Amino acid sequence: MSLPENFCSAPFIQLQTSKDNRCGVCPYTPNRWQVQGTIADKWKSKELESLRKSFIENKQDPQCRRCWKEEEAGKKSLRLRLSEHKGSKNTDEIFEKYIEPFDIPTGRIWLMPCCGSRDEHIEAAPMVAEMAKKHHFNFSPRLHLLVWDMALKV
């Protein structure tokens, strides 16, 4: 099964929030929407659902104009770069830049394979599990992929 041509994975896999209840899904949509409530409320908000629906229906959502303009100009947009991302094997750099400076306990960090199908999950999981073991992080599979593969498109 192939994804729609204009699909972007961002609203399905990530969420950015701020102290004043604003949220977005990528660096091109920071603080885009004002949504009250918990992170779960933001994740399930009509704003994010609308964006997800656009991508599932292969529409070029106008909120993503920066990506569409980059692509029109022949550049590799953030959307296209996200679709190519297969995860980083360099956990040492992540550790030094994003974990040690903030003194985050390793037991509060969870790693999940970055993948979009059961086959990709089977391929990526051992490497991610080894990273988790190396740094004493937690490891979680993407259960929806293992159980339903791509049937739910999440």
48 counts as binding ligand SF4 under rule CB under 6 A: no
Sign for the CA dihedral angle at 19, 25, 29, 35 comes to negative
Residue closer to ligand SF4 (CB basis): 82 or 109: 82
**Residue from 64, 115, 131, 132 binding ligand SF4 (CB under 6 A):** 64
Q: Among 25-33, 93-101, 107-115, 143-151, which window interacts with ligand SF4 (CB under 6 A)?
A: 25-33
Contacts of 25 (CB under 8 A, 6+ apart): 10, 11, 14, 15, 16, 32, 48, 51
Q: Among 35-43, 62-70, 101-109, 123-131, which window interacts with ligand SF4 (CB under 6 A)?
A: 62-70
Can you tell me whether residue 17 is helix, strand or coil? Answer: strand
**Measured between alpha carbons, how far is 72 from 66 in angstroms, rounded to an integer?**
10
Residue closer to ligand SF4 (CB basis): 11 or 116: 11
10 counts as binding ligand SF4 under rule CB under 6 A: yes
CB 25 within 8 A of CB 18: no
**Residue from 23, 48, 67, 115 binding ligand SF4 (CB under 6 A):** 67
CB 60 within 8 A of CB 48: no
145 counts as binding ligand SF4 under rule CB under 6 A: no
Residue closer to ligand SF4 (CB basis): 7 or 139: 7
Distance of CA 133 to the CA centre of its chain: 22
28 counts as binding ligand SF4 under rule CB under 6 A: yes
